[in-house]
Every structure is written in structure tokens, then in C-alpha cells.
């Protein structure tokens, strides 16, 4: 007779997919990356990035399912087959196999939800309100503040190190485009040029695109700003929010733990 409390990893993931579906299952990154999804779930770790440190902590707490927002193996072996012979890749894969860890990526489904789960978590951490304009979900309207004060607020609210800023520190801004992760320069410029944003706050930004546009814009007498907080810093709070959200939709018998990957950079 089967144990009704036993939940397979595959079935748990299916529960999440029902409320965070992707547009096209043949093109999504929301797939299993390694492990055996037919094992019973012991505990779940939710993280922004399945770093070696996060995986080691998962083993310590007895988790066998890691839900990560970003890729696990640096490059896709289909695009760069040589990576499978790299010693760092092999060491990580060996660790995963040895400890029977299963990794499932949850990226597209979170960003496709309305409101975007990662965006909602970040907005709440920053102490702001989600945009009411569904056509421009990333544009937030704040009380007018200086670019310097806005950058300091991001640093303090997220408890991160120095952030990079382009633009006059004294310029006043109220329409903020919050573009998390690495959405690319084109989308960042669309928000500055077409969506009326004064400032883009982003995770990553191509320096030859948005950065140089903002620099020339300021020189031309059209004040614009750019605040780069780092990819991990721009989505960590979103994945912490995701862990809380998952606790509300998954069986209470399944332990769920959020483990931050942390900012990989430091300043010297």
C-alpha cells in the first residue's frame, strides 16, 4: 500500500507548473537540469543561483530538490560541448550525482505570471508599490527624488555593496523603470526613450548601449539616469518572495528553505 504523504519531485514540480505555466514547453528553460525527478521529495531549496555553496547547504539540511532561477552549468553543453570536460563543471556534476540532488529551473514561469513574481518581490523589498499600468508593468511612479538618493535607497533597502550610477547625481526623477536581471540594452533604451522613464534600475547593462545613451543624453541637456545594482542583487529578493509564495501553494508537509546565492562581486 502506497504512502499518501510521499510526494515525488516530478509531481511537486507539476503543481508549480500549473500556477506558473510557460508559453511554450519546447522552448522554455524551466526544465530539470540533473537528478532523478521520480524520487520522493525530502525538502526543497529555493535560490537565485544553484552555486556550489548553495548546493552544499542543501545537502546539510537534507534537501534533494533545488529550484534555481538561473542556469546551473555556466554554458549549455549543446552550444559549448567542451564545457563537459572542464574540471569545474565535472566537480559540480560529481557533487550533484554523489548527493542525488535534482535541480529544476524556475525562470520563465515566474516572469510570465502577472504580476511578475520576481518583480513583485523586488518592489516590496524596495518599499514601493506595484505599478497599476498593466501595459507598462515595469514603470514605477515615485515621489520626486535625486538620482543619488535613489541609488542610496536601493543600496540600503537591498543591503548590498556599492552600485554603479550614470547621470547627474542631483537630477530629479520620479518615473523609474525597474528592469531586473539582464534584459538587454534595447529594452532598457525603449523604457528611457519610448516609455517616459527618467531612470533605469537594472541588474546588468551593456556599457556601450544604455550607459553611453545616458551619458550623451545628460550632455545634451536631457536628464536621464542609470543605476546598475548587479544581476543577483536585482533578483534575490524576488526568489525569496517566490519561496514564500511556494509555501502557500505546495503541501505543508514539504519543507521549503530559501538560500541566497549572494552577490558574487566585491570592491577593492
Cα separation, 103 vs 137, whole angstroms: 30
End-to-end CA distance of the chain: 61
CB 201 within 8 A of CB 178: yes
Q: Looking at residue 3, what is its pLDDT?
A: 56
DSSP assignment of 130-170: --S-TTSTTEEEEEEEEHHHHHHHHHHHHT-S--EEES-TT
Q: Where in the chain is the domain with CATH 3.40.1390.30?
A: 9-111+236-258, 117-228
DSSP 3-state of 18: helix
117-228 belongs to CATH 3.40.1390.30:
yes
CB 58 within 8 A of CB 260: no
Residue pLDDT tens, the chain, 268 long: 455 579 999 999 999 999 999 999 999 999 999 999 999 999 999 999 999 999 999 999 999 999 999 999 999 888 999 999 999 999 999 999 999 999 999 999 999 999 999 999 999 999 999 987 777 889 999 999 999 999 999 999 999 999 999 999 999 999 999 999 999 999 999 999 999 999 999 999 999 999 999 999 999 999 999 999 999 999 999 999 999 999 999 999 999 999 999 999 988 8
pTM equals 0.94
Looking up cell 534595447 gives 186
DSSP 3-state of 250: coil
CATH class held by domain 9-111+236-258: alpha beta
Measure Cα distances from 170 to 103, 121, 127, 166, 265 in Å.
Answer: 45, 28, 22, 11, 27
Amino acid at each position: 500500500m502506497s504512502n499518501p504523504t510521499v510526494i515525488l519531485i516530478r509531481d511537486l514540480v507539476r503543481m508549480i507548473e500549473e500556477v506558473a505555466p510557460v508559453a511554450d514547453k519546447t522552448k522554455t528553460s524551466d526544465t530539470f537540469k540533473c537528478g532523478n525527478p521520480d524520487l520522493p521529495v525530502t525538502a526543497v531549496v529555493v535560490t537565485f543561483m544553484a552555486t556550489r555553496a548553495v548546493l552544499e547547504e542543501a545537502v546539510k539540511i537534507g534537501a534533494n530538490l533545488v529550484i534555481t532561477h538561473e542556469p546551473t552549468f555556466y554554458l549549455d553543453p549543446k552550444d559549448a560541448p567542451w564545457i563537459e570536460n572542464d574540471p569545474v563543471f565535472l566537480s559540480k556534476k560529481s557533487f550533484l550525482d554523489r548527493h542525488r540532488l535534482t535541480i529544476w529551473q524556475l525562470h520563465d514561469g515566474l516572469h510570465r505570471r502577472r504580476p511578475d513574481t520576481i518583480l513583485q518581490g523586488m518592489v516590496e523589498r524596495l518599499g514601493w508599490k506595484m505599478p497599476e499600468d498593466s501595459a507598462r508593468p515595469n514603470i514605477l511612479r515615485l515621489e520626486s527624488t535625486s538620482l543619488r538618493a535613489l541609488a542610496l535607497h536601493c543600496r540600503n533597502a537591498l543591503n548590498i555593496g556599492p552600485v554603479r550610477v550614470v547621470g547627474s547625481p542631483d537630477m530629479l526623477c520620479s518615473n523609474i523603470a525597474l528592469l531586473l536581471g539582464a534584459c538587454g540594452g534595447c529594452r532598457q533604451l525603449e523604457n528611457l526613450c519610448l516609455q517616459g522613464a527618467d531612470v533605469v534600475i537594472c541588474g546588468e547593462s551593456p556599457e556601450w548601449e544604455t550607459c553611453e545613451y545616458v551619458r550623451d543624453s545628460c550632455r545634451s541637456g536631457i536628464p536621464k539616469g542609470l543605476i546598475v545594482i548587479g544581476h543577483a542583487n536585482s533578483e534575490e529578493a524576488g526568489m525569496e518572495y517566490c519561496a514564500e509564495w511556494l509555501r502557500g501553494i505546495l503541501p505543508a508537509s514539504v519543507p521549503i528553505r530559501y538560500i541566497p546565492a549572494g552577490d558574487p562581486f566585491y570592491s577593492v
